[in-house]
Amino acid sequence: MKVFIGLILGIMIGAAGYWFIDERDPDFKIEAKGGDAGERVSVSGKDLKAEAEKVGEELKEAGTKAAEVASDATITGTVKVKLAADSQLSARDINVDTADGVVTLNGRVASTELIDKAAEIAKSVPGVKEVKTDLEVQP
């Protein structure tokens, strides 16, 4: 019960704080003493908004990069699974690397036809932009 009452009070205090900040003039200033020398720092509401937008853009870019990395890992895994499912190709003899949607195949296969087959399998995976093959024929 105490937790529930604390939660309700916290929500009420948070709502009141939001209302107070939301109702203020966007040109309000925050001043504080900081640093070893006790210098005053002054930031206006407009500066805060611009800085928040800048941080938001940086977070968006970081999220996009993280999604690309996850996507590359997904592509690599899918290509490896498809290669392993093929009875003519040995997935353990073919290394798969993906960077920005470009798949690179390295390793050994038994014939030149299998080089083309491995490349076609890699191209069939969604998200693959290009396939580079550095496969060697080794019967």
- Residue boundaries of the structural domains of the chain: 25-137
Higher pLDDT pick, 88 / 62: 88
Taking residues 111-128, what's their average pLDDT?
Answer: 92
Chain segment 23-52, per-residue pLDDT in tens: 555 555 555 555 555 565 555 566 666 776
Residues 6+ apart with CB under 8 A from 49: 26
Please name which of 52, 48, 2 lies closest in space to residue 25, comparing C-alpha atoms.
48
Single pTM value for the model = 0.53
The CATH class of the 25-137 domain is alpha beta
pLDDT of 131 > 70? The answer is: yes
Q: How confident is the model at residue 117 (pLDDT cuts 50, 70, 90)?
A: very high
Distance CA 75, CA 36 (A): 52
